[in-house]
A and B are shown apart, each in its own frame.
Chain A
Amino acid sequence: MASVDSVALAPDEPAGADRPPSLWQRLLGHRLFVTGAVIVVFMLLLAIFADLIQILPPEKMQVRLRFQTPSFSFPLGTDNYGRDIWSRLAHGARLSMAIGFAVALLTGITGTANGVFAGYFRRLDGPLMRLMDALMAFPAILLAIAIAAALGPSAFNAVIALSIVYTPRTARVVRATVLVVREMDYVAAAKACGARDLWIVWRHVLPNSIAPLLVQLTFIFAYAILAEAILSFLGVGPPPPAPTWGNMIAEGKDYLREAPLLCLFPGVAVALICLGLNLLGDGLRDVLDPRLRVQIG
């Protein structure tokens, strides 16, 4: 997962600044964060403007133009049905990003709810976290495949399956943070002022637990995209001819010898977005974690 080396590579802050640099300045000064952000933004643009930059509709077949190598008219070539790979890649980005974002959002909600309640209300800790442990006991991908297969192959079901699988990881991170925050003096002070538990959770515990959650969610985003590609590859994701990256690799693998580019491009896309999100997350963590701030600032 995240490497600690990135801290050493963190750039120097401009010395002699009057006030400490803002969060935004610190992020922009972090080389790896910026690299990750550029990759992610590029993929996002690809996803958003897929309809504008496509050369052909992603599912349009051209029987006479199969296995074209990259050329001026088909920059990344065509696949075994003569579909334009560039267009499919762009639309695949849309699907992958949408699924990744939905999974991050959903696990963000369920994981936070579980983590906050387990961490703050100690009586719920045992039951909730044992449930999370039970989910964690299965290998993530295997469980996702089982759930997705049981629900049936579709993008929506892939989101549900992946959200279930990644909720425990988020819940653990949030719970750990909440365990620290609930012991802070300002929580005791709020209690001494007559604030009720739910108010304290909402006003004091949640806002102060957000940083590690954000970092975790960027990693979940990356895992989800990777896992979605795996689900598609195995045939339990959005069914073909949907242009997901996993589907493209799955269809290309039969022609790996003759036309390796069919697998290469979507493979690179998956690797690139995961790299981008991981760099983004590492950067966020470096900047948001007060324990590492000394070394950076």
Chain B
Amino acid sequence: MAEPLLRVEDLRVVFGPPGREQVAVDGLSLTLGPGEVLGIVGESGCGKTLTALSILRLIPNPPGRIAGGQILFRGQDLAHASEKAMNRIRGKEISMIFQEPMTALNPVFKIGEQIGETLRVHDGLTRAQARSGALQMLERVGISNPAQRLGQYPHELSGGMRQRVMIAIALACRPQILIADEPTTALDVTIQAQILLLLRELQSELGMAVVLITHDLGVVAQVVDRVAVMYAGRIVEEGSAAAVFERPSHPYTRLLLESIPTLDQQQDRLQTIPGMVPSLSNLPAGCRFHPRCPDVRPACREAAPASFEVAPGHRAACIAVNNYRHAN
């Protein structure tokens, strides 16, 4: 792989006052190459969104803060950059789109102004220039009658259309990296597919890298190159999408894939993973998945497992990784 565009190393995000901190993201490392689409999957509350927010340093502080690690973007450590430097990067170099398109647009401004806002903030464009830039972006994200839409308010648009507007805002300044935090979760299934397709198209057209955060494995399978599976603040498995889906090596990944209901099989009950994601205040010792793991061993309770290589570029943090290597 080429020199990574973004390298997160040993990131720790904690919540709460010093002394009584709860660790939400614990020693997370990942890399993102130029033009690569990385999926981060996991159950709710496993730290996916926090990881994304910490890359842009948007974690609400207090109560949360980045307690350790590095976030290297083109040699600059974002974890320790000044607020001023971050403002130059946000929206210009690294953009983000959010889960809820219904509330992510300011209800009192026309969408043309909202798309133009980023251009005015970063590129110092005039109102008129920003307007034509906004028009171009609206065309690009495939909105019908873009000229007319510029003058509409958010409440006049549907959810899918608003998400397209959000994408237009995020991409207005041609960022190097787009972070999409569950961009399709709040949308209808048919619209989901359209938005994913659009993201994929724009990604190859603009040559940007994308971090796609989702809990929907179907979404991941469709669009990502590489996938990282998170559990309780740690990455438990990482590899190319094909490798992870065909040979899931961490028991958590395996159970996740097994709990997707299939149409061709008669099932009385849906497959689930027993137990719950542990709460931050009560994290189990050792491997964080061991209370729910069907294949738990005594060593799992002792120490957190290191990350083992399953195949080149495919790693899993499980001491039993060899057992699963050829299971499927």
Contact = CB atoms under 8 A, between A and B. Distances in A.
A189 interface: yes
A199 B62 CA distance: 21
Interface residues of B, number: 29
A199 B58 contact: no
Contacts of B105: 186, 189
B91 A194 contact: yes
A204 B91 contact: no
Contacts of B56: 192
B134 interface: no
Given A184-B103, A185-B103, A186-B103, A193 B108 contact: no
A203 interface: yes
A189 B166 contact: yes
B106 A203 contact: yes
B21 interface: no
| Interface secondary structure of A, over-half rule | helix
A195 interface: yes
A188 B59 CA distance: 10
B98 A189 contact: yes
A191 B58 contact: yes
B108 A194 contact: no
Contacts of A194: 86-92, 118, 121-122
A193 B58 contact: no
Contacts of B109: 203, 207
A230 B90 CA distance: 55
A291 interface: no
A193 B89 contact: no
B100 interface: yes
Most buried by A among B92, B103, B104, B106: B106
A192 B87 contact: no
Contacts of B88: 194
Contacts of A190: 106, 117
A196 B90 CA distance: 10
B96 interface: yes
Interface string B51-90: 0000010100010000000000000000000000011111
Interface of A: 122, 184-186, 188-196, 199, 203-204, 207-208
22 contacts: A185-B100, A185-B104, A186-B106, A186-B107, A188-B58, A189-B97, A189-B169, A190-B117, A192-B90, A192-B95, A192-B98, A192-B170, A193-B117, A193-B169, A194-B86, A194-B90, A194-B91, A194-B118, A195-B87, A203-B106, A203-B117, A208-B106
Interface of B: 56, 58, 62, 86-92, 95-98, 100, 103-109, 117-118, 121-122, 166, 169-170
Q: Top 6 closest A-B pairs, CB basis?
A: A193-B91, A194-B90, A194-B91, A185-B104, A192-B96, A185-B103
